[in-house]
Amino acid sequence: MTALTVSGGGGSLDARTTDMRAQARVLDDLAQDVRDLAARVAGVPLDPAVLASGLYAPVGLARIQASAVAAQLPPAGLAWLALEYEATGCYLRGAADAYDAVDAALAEAAEGLRAAAGEAILSTLLLAGLGALAVGGAGWAATRALPGGARDDVDAWLAQLAAALGPALVGGGAQLLFDQPWVTDTVLAGVPALVNSPGDLFGLQEHPLSYESVVALLLAAGTGAGLFHHGPVAISRRRRLEGAAPRSVADVFANLDTMSGPAESQEIRVTHVVGPAGESRFVVEIPGTESWEPRSTTNPADVKTNLQEIAGQESAMRAAVELALADAMEAAGIPPGERGRPEVLLAGHSQAGIVAVNLASDPDPAFRYSHVLVGGSPISLADVPESVHVLALEHEQDPVPRLDGVSNAPRHHVTTVVRDIAGEVPADLHGAQNPATAHDLELYRRTGAVVDASQDPAVAQARDGLAPFFTGTASATWSYEATQEPTP
């Protein structure tokens, strides 16, 4: 069985410190209960009836008073026991805070080192590129001064050289990113540092640009250039599907691999699942980027949505998903006032995973997003609430999950499963060892099957959370077509 690297979920440090704080609260409540009992016991000798009995049995009263005092003293007295419970609770809280502080400090230090290394690499590449451009420009100008025949010979030689070196450089670069995934992490971590370096020279460190801000600048530049348009979004119910309800993690990615509408639109599927007690749940399946044109098209799963989601801005795909979900709930007979009750699983690959996580992270969501399942998605920047449970699948050699510049934090409600696919790309996927293949949906389906069979406790816990969506009775699956107004 393929080995998986699992972080977050039930086995994470975050989960353990959360458990420690929960145990501390239990001990606080127990200490208060014991303290209340101790007060009642201490009050027994002062009861008027007990005091009055001392007139007739002074020895008995003395014994009652002595027993009441003994009941408060160590090692087993009530007041002492309450103090022990309270002290243990304080210790657990302090230990949890210390663990979290050390973990955060180590993560910050590692991120700082990676950012510094990334800035150095990018600076070197930038200087090398400028140098090559200058040399190439000078060489090109020199060839223009040659006689016609000689100039033609030089041009032909340069064309042959470019034809020979171009594929080798591209192939070599792709192979490097596949074999050394840390390169992607390091370079992307250095982007904000490189962008902020001119500001550092002029004393503008007080307000440095974040990774999201850099992406937002790219989005603003594209919008200013007239490439991106923010038009209305529309959905239409295309058909009702039979036998399309997912029954496992692998099934979800298999479905996503088959979902493709016309080039002008994006398909979204919504499945209504009914549990054993008649409770409704919904599974929303969202494919990734369909349009790679550097402008807005009629398909909302485009480059603009990619930039908006990484920058933390609402996109056309978010609106399309919620329109489709609202229509499916209406078709299932759920009144508008009760649409916040059914649990919803959002599932997506690549760009769609960012859409899903950002929808579930909305502080005022329109629906009850309880679970998210993603594959090959950069989701680490999302502030996912603890009420939402996320299972994120990644391939070690896939650069896309790293496009937000940082790795997923090991949170107790976010389980990240990373599979190293080096040497495991099957022949039916062309056997290509490159980043594009590492992002392939069919390969994520196969990783989903590995996850379905995994005995890792954190993975099993995440699967248990998804089980009601896969084992309930599938009432209906609807296919929707999402479109948007393109750039004029």
Q: Give, for all 488 residues of the chain, the pLDDT tens digit.
A: 567 888 887 655 555 666 677 777 888 888 788 788 878 877 777 778 777 776 777 777 678 777 777 777 777 777 777 777 777 877 777 776 776 666 556 555 555 555 565 556 555 655 556 555 665 566 656 666 667 666 666 666 666 656 655 555 555 555 655 656 656 666 666 566 656 565 555 555 556 667 677 778 788 888 888 888 777 888 888 888 888 899 999 999 999 998 865 678 889 999 999 998 889 999 999 998 887 787 888 888 888 888 888 888 888 899 999 999 999 999 999 988 888 889 999 999 998 999 999 999 999 898 999 999 999 998 988 889 999 999 999 998 888 888 877 777 778 889 999 998 887 776 666 556 677 788 888 899 999 999 999 999 999 999 999 999 999 888 899 999 998 877 66
For 217, 437, 452, the CA distances from 467, given in Å and listed in that order, are 41, 29, 11
CA–CA distance, 206 with 254 (Å, rounded to integer):
48
Which residues contact residue 290 at a Cβ distance below 8 angstroms, ignoring those fewer than 6 apart? 260, 263, 266, 299, 301, 302
Task: Spell 386-414 as b/e; 16+ CB within 10 A means b.
Answer: eebbbbbbbbebbbbbbbbbbbbbbbbbb
CB 410 within 8 A of CB 7: yes
Identify the H or E element spanning 345.
strand 343-349
CA-closest candidate to residue 421, choices 445, 399, 392, 396: 396
CA–CA distance, 355 with 99 (Å, rounded to integer):
32
CA–CA distance, 345 with 275 (Å, rounded to integer):
14
CA–CA distance, 368 with 465 (Å, rounded to integer):
15
In the chain, where the domains are located? 7-110, 118-209, 224-484
Burial class, 281, CB count within 10 angstroms (exposed 0-12 / middle 13-18 / buried 19+): buried
Q: Taking the complete model, does pTM exceed 0.75, yes or no?
A: no
Residue 19 φ/ψ region, left for φ over 0, alpha for ψ in the -120 to 50 degree band, beta for the rest = alpha
CATH class name, domain 224-484: alpha beta
Residue 26 identity: V
Task: Match 């025949």 to its residue by tokens.
Answer: 149
Phi/psi at 410 (nearest 5 deg)? Answer: -75, 75
